[in-house]
Structure 1
Amino acid sequence: MIIKTIIFSFTFILLSAFSAFPCEKVYSENDTIFRIPNLFESDTLIELSITTDLKTLIKDTGNKSKYHKARLSYHLGDSIVSMSVCMKTRGNFRKDRSICPFPPMKIKFNKSQASYSLFHDQKKLKIVTHCQNRNRRYEQMLIQEYLIYKAYNLFTPESFNVRLAKITYKDSKNQMASLSKYAFFIEDFEKMAERNGKIARYDKKIHQNHTLIGKVTKLAIFQYMVGNTDWGVPTLHNIKLIAKTPNSRPVPVPYDFDWASLVNAPYAIPNKKLNIKSIHDRLYRGYKRTAKDFEYIFREFRMKKESLYNLYIECEYLSDKEKERVLNYFDKFYEIIDNPKKIKAEFIDQSRTIKYKK
């Protein structure tokens, strides 16, 4: 009887109303909690429902978009875990409703309600959403972007962890029909830095060659492999920096891969300054290195080729057609890095060089 009373009381707390969680308050993480699996410790698909004033939320895409109250719920065995959260739209290009009528989101958790849930150690998380409600192509695009994050995890822990979810969005005012779509959560920047024993750095105007050379070269080769030119270190364009100290050489960490060839977004157009016609045209955007330096990194890409291919082959959410397209694209990459003449043409002759002012 005592145990039943405790369970009932705990459930009652989780099911408290939206008003119990003020959206503008930030909660600390100083309290000790019981060991519960971390959100990013598993690759298993999580199924959630989010109930909110959906129409108002997705239309709030201005520069000063605000948090909106919502309720997140998911099944845990025969029980339902439910908690108050706050959500807001986020992003730059994909926040444009002419591009994505359903924009990316940021979610903020109530520490006390999330304490014994899958989100127990999270404060705020980015969510990459499906962008378009009716076009099935966008669902595959989302899975492709998710897999690029997972692919980069294969090459370095200094990367963002992600977790795939199937979210059912429900409109609390019944002005929109419910919809169920894939999405994925992205690990918090500062938590990613901490996981790697480093601190988050926010400095701009750090030249690519002033980061850790081996790691930025690996990053540039990876971006070449997936066909992504939409990044830049000095401007922190789709790049975050982590470092051991405020003054040590940082490690650049990429994110936002929606302009990559593998994603194949219809809105993705390469920058005119790059002199490539299509996002499917690979371009190495790293700086000049020796053939020996490149070979050291290519060796790792060769070693991890099977794991990379299996990541895509074994993904049950990616269509066979998309798998074939990706593997063919990867095949061409491996043909290049196994051919000394092509390495010279693609990575040495076409590489960027530092221009010194006279």
Structure 2
Amino acid sequence: MGNNQINSKLLILYFLCTLSCFSQEKNVDKKIGKVSKLFSSDTVIHIKMNYVNKAVKKSTNDSTYLDLDLGYQIGNNEWKNLPVSIRSRGNNRLKTCYFVPIKLKIKKEDNKGTLFKGNKELKLVLPCLTENARNDYLLKEFLAYKLYELVSPYHFKTRLLNITLSEARGKKIKVHKIKGFFIEDIKKVANRHGGKVLKRNVHPMQQDALCSVQNAFFQFMIGNTDFSTAYQHNEKLLFVNNTTMPVPYDFDMSGLCNTSYSVVSQVGGDVLPITEVTQRMYRGFKRDNKVFIEVRDQFLENKSKMLEMIASYKDHFETPKAYIQCTSYINEFFDVIADDSKFNNEILNRARTK
């Protein structure tokens, strides 16, 4: 074989390898910034499920799932069924609540061509107890997720649901009309930003300064102390552009929700100097004051958007009192950060050093 033939074959091989690599890069790039169809709309989805809460609690775990059909409405009167597998999840809610927190798995061949395309795993948040205020508590937690969307690009997408849950009780069927919401899988959040999910713990001071302070301000805004970015308690960590970003979740113990079962959290054995969840306490770490001022300005500039977002869900509240409490609680936060003295005393001077 002559040198010209060898060189020609090497060039062809190089071209094919380059084309393959380019194709792979192109596929990866398509994931960045992409939101699945399920989370690209704020329209409330109506769904139906049939299962027994006690059975899910007793018979499922991290590796054992229960198969069932999830019915969802796609038009005024048209319903479709989607085969799913569910299991119980969570710790505190699993012990405390009547309605079991759910993890859904959907086979790729089943979600293809449906509203759920691209979502293999989902979290389903349900009310805790069967009390009258259950749906308003749930709605306020959902709104916390929506508020964080206005704070940081590193957030979970959610979708509000109206759920009909039919539960067999002996020969009778108990029908629960409840609200709920889906939360996208953390891997979807990572893919959207071209990053990856971190399993190991990272000290808060080694996390992105801006994102960390945004997260801390948000937690202070909703009156939540039930989190730890250091130990990934109700926080996930993403590694994006060589930087660690916190992504918060699970806000039912916050002052914004102020549920009947809320308790002041003692994360990491810390005894906090508050007695009610509605009392705010800043739990973020000290940073350069320029970052605090930047985040303060960001929140103040977004005040109208945040209140408008809450107002857009006013008709979903079952009691006017719950809506008023929700807006009043957020307005109290803005009263703090708009006042220099309160801002210094309640945030800057409370920032942690350890």
TM-score tier, shorter chain, comes to 0.7 to 0.9
Counterparts in 2 of 1:59 and 1:242: CA distance versus 1, 3 Å: closer
Q: Deviations over 1:299-347 (max 9, x none)?
A: 1101110110011112121232122112222222112112222121111
Counterparts in 2 of 1:61 and 1:145: CA distance versus 1, 3 Å: farther
Letter in structure 2 aligned against 1:273 = V
Check whether the contact 2:125–2:181 (CA below 8 A) recurs between aligned residues.
yes
Partner of 1:266: 260
**Number of residue pairs aligned between Structure 1 and Structure 2:** 314
- 2: distance between equivalents of 1:139 and 1:125? 20
Letter in structure 2 aligned against 1:153 = E
Partner of 1:186: 183
- 1: distance between equivalents of 2:35 and 2:237? 29
Check whether the contact 1:231–1:237 (CA below 8 A) recurs between aligned residues.
yes
Check whether the contact 1:126–1:188 (CA below 8 A) recurs between aligned residues.
yes
- 2: distance between equivalents of 1:191 and 1:235? 22
Q: CA deviation at 1:155?
A: 1.3
Q: CA deviation at 1:352?
A: 0.8
Partner of 2:90: 91
Letter in structure 2 aligned against 1:330 = I
Q: CA deviation at 1:288?
A: 1.9
Check whether the contact 2:159–2:182 (CA below 8 A) recurs between aligned residues.
yes
Alignment of 1:196 with 2:193, yes or no, is yes
Check whether the contact 1:36–1:118 (CA below 8 A) recurs between aligned residues.
no
Check whether the contact 2:212–2:246 (CA below 8 A) recurs between aligned residues.
yes
User: Which structure has the larger Rg?
Assistant: 2
3-state SS of paired residue (1:267): coil
- 2: distance between equivalents of 1:93 and 1:224? 22
Letter in structure 2 aligned against 1:146 = F
TM score, norm. by length of structure 1 = 0.82
3-state SS of paired residue (1:217): helix
- 2: distance between equivalents of 1:58 and 1:190? 25
Letter in structure 2 aligned against 1:131 = C
TM score, norm. by length of structure 2 = 0.83
Check whether the contact 2:145–2:156 (CA below 8 A) recurs between aligned residues.
yes
- 2: distance between equivalents of 1:147 and 1:250? 25
Identity %: 31
Matches within 5 A, 1:242-281: 242-244=238-240, 248-270=242-264, 271=266, 273-281=271-279
- 2: distance between equivalents of 1:84 and 1:241? 31
Alignment of 1:226 with 2:216, yes or no, is no
Q: Deviations over 1:205-264 (max 9, x none)?
A: x1111100111011001100110011101210000000126xx33100100001110111
Check whether the contact 2:156–2:184 (CA below 8 A) recurs between aligned residues.
yes
Partner of 2:119: 122
- 1: distance between equivalents of 2:180 and 2:107? 21
- 2: distance between equivalents of 1:74 and 1:337? 43
Counterparts in 2 of 1:276 and 1:68: CA distance versus 1, 3 Å: same
Partner of 1:341: 341
Misfit runs of 4+, over 6 Å: none
Q: CA deviation at 1:36?
A: 11
Letter in structure 2 aligned against 1:260 = S
Q: CA deviation at 1:72?
A: 1.0
Matches within 5 A, 1:1-358: 38-52=37-51, 54-60=52-58, 66-77=64-75, 79-96=78-95, 99-133=96-130, 135-171=131-167, 176-204=173-201, 206-244=202-240, 248-270=242-264, 271=266, 273-315=271-313, 316-318=315-317, 319-354=319-354
- 1: distance between equivalents of 2:331 and 2:212? 23
Check whether the contact 1:55–1:176 (CA below 8 A) recurs between aligned residues.
no
Check whether the contact 2:140–2:326 (CA below 8 A) recurs between aligned residues.
no
- 1: distance between equivalents of 2:129 and 2:214? 33
Check whether the contact 1:57–1:89 (CA below 8 A) recurs between aligned residues.
no
Letter in structure 2 aligned against 1:209 = M
3-state SS of paired residue (2:150): helix
Check whether the contact 2:57–2:94 (CA below 8 A) recurs between aligned residues.
no
- 2: distance between equivalents of 1:339 and 1:177? 51
- 2: distance between equivalents of 1:101 and 1:89? 12
Counterparts in 2 of 1:253 and 1:94: CA distance versus 1, 3 Å: same
3-state SS of paired residue (2:352): coil
- 2: distance between equivalents of 1:237 and 1:283? 17
